Structure formats: C-alpha cells, structure tokens
Amino acid sequence: IERLYRAPVALRLRRLIWAAIVLVAAGGAWLAVMAYPGKQGERIAVGSKDFTEQIILGELMAQLIESHTGLVVRRRFDLGGNLTHEALLAGEIDMYPEYTGTGLTVILRRKPMSDAKTVYETVKEQYAARFGVEWLAPLGFNNTFAILVRGDDARRLQLRSISDIARYAPAWRAGFGQDFISRPDGYQGFIRAYGLKFKEAREMDLSLTYRALAQGQVDVIAGNSTDGLIARQGLFQLADDRSYFPPYDAAPLVRQETLVRFPALRDVLNLLAGAISVAEMRELNFQVDGERRDVKQVAADFLRAKGLDRPQKVTRVRGAQPGAP
C-alpha cells in the first residue's frame, strides 16, 4: 500500500484498476463455487421407481440439477419394488423421489398414521439416523391411494365416501394392483377398516384397472390420486372418511454423503418445494400416459412454465407443508 501511495498518479490509477479487476474476478470465482456444487463434469445418479409419475419426478430433478449446476446426471429410472431404496443405501444412486407413507409403512415398517406433519417428521428423523439419508422439502402433492368408482354410479347411488359402498360391496367386483394387494397399508387393512366384503377381488396390472372400471368389468378399484386418467375417464374418487390411508407426500430423498460433497444440491432441489399440486401432477401424468408425450419434453415444459429452467439465485426454500394440496 505504501509503495502504491508513492507511485505517480497515473501509475497508481492503473494499479488500482487492475486491483479492482482482480477483486471482481476473484469474487466471481467465489460466487461460482457457491452456486455450483461440484466441478464441471462430476457425476451424480438420479433414480426413480418403475411408473410414470416417478420417472417424471426423476426427470424434473435431473434437469433442474443439470441447468443449475456443473454436474453430469446419470439417470437410473424404472427401478421396480424396493430397488430404489436399496440402490440409494448402496450408493448406486444419489437420490430419488419417495412418498412419506411408503417410507413409514414399507421401509420403516411402522403402523399407518394419518397426520401428514407427524409422518414427515418421523421419516425424516428415522431415515437420517438409520440410513444416512435426508428427506428434502415436500414437492406439494399427496399421491395417496384413491378408491375409485364410475362417475355415473357415484351419481346414481349417491356415493361420496368409501363407507357408502359397504352395502353394495357383496355384489361388486373389485380390481386392485399387486402393490395395493401386498402392502401393509393396502387391501387387508382396508377391507377390515371399512368392513367390506366383495363378490370378487381381482389382482390386476394397475394400468389396466382404470380401463376395466370404465368398461364395466369391475365396479371399484384402488388407483393413485394423481393419475391423469381419473378425470379423463369420468371416474369418481371416494373420500377416505375413516382416514385409513396414511399421507403420501412426495419429496426428494438424498444421501447425506452426496449433500456433503455437493451442498448446493439441497437449495437447487428445494426449488421444487411446493411447486407441484395434485392437479398439476395429474396433468403431467396424463401428458405422458394419455397423450404419449416424451417425458423429457414434458419435464422441460413444466420447469420452463415455473421459471425454473435456468440458474437463479437461491435465497430460501419456498414454503411447502406436508399434506398441502
């Protein structure tokens, strides 16, 4: 500083200008390190389960990371059963979208609970302690089991809730997917909770149950509340008036080791917090299943519509409460 002060004015000015340039460049480099969680070309793996909604959510997470960071994303989608959980624990994937009710009953093997906040806090605490996995903020929708009947039957018989079908069940045929039949929060507990006894209960591929219901081959099914075919095929979702089903709030699961290596990932993924409503998820599912649109394009269009398709300053997580519509 003393040498700079004694230099001629012109020389001092030039040196000050160069010093300012160096400081700006250094500041920019620091901001880049803060904004991007890893070096250019480093890889992480995003997984998903083996149905449309999961693949869409996995693609949304992958594209968001790609557009906001220097990381290369490897997609490991379409993993059946509990393979996503096993792959996460084994370090074969770094993250995937999961549902709170699934984490509670299938992975932790706890009894179903109806309070969304309690379920979220339970899985968040237990996953961190037992598996070294963090639940990030919920995405905004609850994909619970949906007990569905034809809209015409609901109007004709004045059906509003699941309890309303008890008197008709002995003459009805039901169609349920393998997942609903086998889960601890599925068929057996469901019929006990509501005192139901069907004339016939068929195990069917979930994707076929909607068509079977619409065509009169069965009278009631257990679908997913975010399925786009519900509205498109004129089906009616009966209210779970005995609160049997736990909440299934969707949220990203990320290995804690991954968040330590790439800490900015938490803020990047939390840009999706509260960003997807039930109606929006139904529409995304229908675009892929009903309109046969490419998953990558559907995800890209959604992120663009939300203004999330380009890097932006992350200041805080947008509010997303478990169980919010």
Per-residue model confidence as pLDDT tens for the chain (325 residues):
323 333 444 444 455 444 444 344 434 433 333 344 445 568 999 999 988 999 999 999 999 999 999 899 999 999 988 899 999 999 999 999 999 999 999 999 998 888 999 999 999 999 999 999 999 999 999 999 999 999 999 999 999 999 999 999 999 999 999 889 988 788 999 999 999 999 999 999 887 899 999 999 999 999 999 998 888 889 999 999 999 998 999 999 999 999 999 999 999 999 999 999 999 999 999 999 889 999 999 999 999 999 998 876 543 334 455 654 3
What is the C-alpha separation between 195 and 182, in angstroms, rounded?
Answer: 19
Give the integer Cα–Cα distance in Å for 189 and 167: 18
Residue 206 has a pLDDT of 83
Cα 268 to Cα 270: distance, rounded to the nearest angstrom: 5
Backbone angles phi, psi at 39, to 5 degrees: -70, 150
Ramachandran angles phi, psi of 248, nearest 5°: -125, 65
pLDDT number for residue 96:
98
Q: What is the distance between the alpha carbons of residues 90 and 47, in angstroms, rounded to a whole number?
A: 13
Residues forming a β-bridge with 224: 145
CB 165 within 8 A of CB 191: no
Decide if 127 contacts 205 (C-beta within 8 A): no
Rg (C-alpha) for the chain, rounded Å, is 25
Which ranges of 51-143 would DSSP assign to H, the alpha helix?
A: 52-68, 83-90, 100-102, 116-131
pLDDT at 323: 55
